[in-house]
Chains A and B, each alone.
Chain A
Amino acid sequence: MELFSNQVLAGLATGAIYACMSLSIVMIYQAIDHLNFAQGEMAMASAFIAWQLIQWGLPYWVAFGLTIGLSFGAGFAIERSLFRPLADAPVLTHVAGFIALFAIVNSGAGMIWGFTIKEFPSPFGNGQFLGSELLSAHQAGMIGATALLLLSLYVFFEFTRVGLAMRAAVSNPESARLVGVNVSWMIGLGWALAAGIGAVAGMFIAPLVFLEPNMMGGILVYGFAGAVLGGLSSPLGAVLGGFMIGVFENLIGTYVPGAGNQLKLPIALFLIIAILRLRPQGLLGRAFVERV
Chain B
Amino acid sequence: MTALLEVNDLRAQYGAVRVLHGMSFALNEGDVTALLGSNGAGKTTTLRAICNSVSHTGDMVFDGIALRGKSTEAIVKLGIAHVPQGRGTFTKLTVEENLQLGAMVRRNRPDIVSDMDRMYGYFPKLKERRTQQAGTLSGGEQQMLAVARALMLRPRLMLLDEPSFGLAPLIVQSLFDILRKINVEERVTVLVVEQNANLALQISSRAYVVETGCIVLSGNASEIASNEAIRKSYLGC
Contact = CB atoms under 8 A, between A and B. Distances in A.
B76 A286 contact: no
B84 A175 contact: yes
B140 to A, nearest CB: 15
B53 interface: yes
Contact of A175 (B73, B77, B88): B88
A23 to B, nearest CB: 19
Interface string A202-213: 000000000000
Contacts of A161: 104
B153 to A, nearest CB: 7
A181 B88 CA distance: 14
A280 to B, nearest CB: 15
A164 B90 CA distance: 11
B110 to A, nearest CB: 15
Q: Is the interface of A mostly helix, strand, loop or mixed?
A: helix
B91 A176 contact: no
Instruction: Give the interface residue-count category, chain B.
Output: 20 to 34
A34 B204 CA distance: 45
A84 interface: no
Contacts of B136: 289
B82 interface: yes
B73 A180 contact: yes
A168 B101 contact: yes
A232 to B, nearest CB: 12
Nearest to A174: B88
Contacts of B51: 177-178
Contact of B93 (A168, A178, A291): A168
A172 B90 contact: yes
Contacts, number: 76
A98 to B, nearest CB: 24
A182 interface: yes
B73 A171 contact: no
Interface in A258-286: 286
Contacts of B105: 179-180
B124 interface: no
A179 B149 contact: yes
A190 to B, nearest CB: 15
A178 to B, nearest CB: 5
Given A165-B101, A167-B90, A178-B53, 17 more contacts: A164-B97, A164-B100, A172-B91, A175-B89, A176-B90, A177-B73, A178-B76, A179-B102, A179-B105, A179-B153, A180-B73, A180-B76, A180-B77, A286-B133, A289-B92, A289-B133, A291-B91
Contact of B76 (A164, A179, A289): A179
B121 to A, nearest CB: 21
12 contacts: A171-B90, A172-B89, A172-B91, A174-B53, A175-B90, A178-B84, A179-B101, A181-B101, A233-B92, A286-B133, A289-B133, A291-B91
B104 A167 contact: no
B106 to A, nearest CB: 9
B208 to A, nearest CB: 22
B73 A181 contact: yes
Contacts of B89: 172, 175
B168 to A, nearest CB: 19
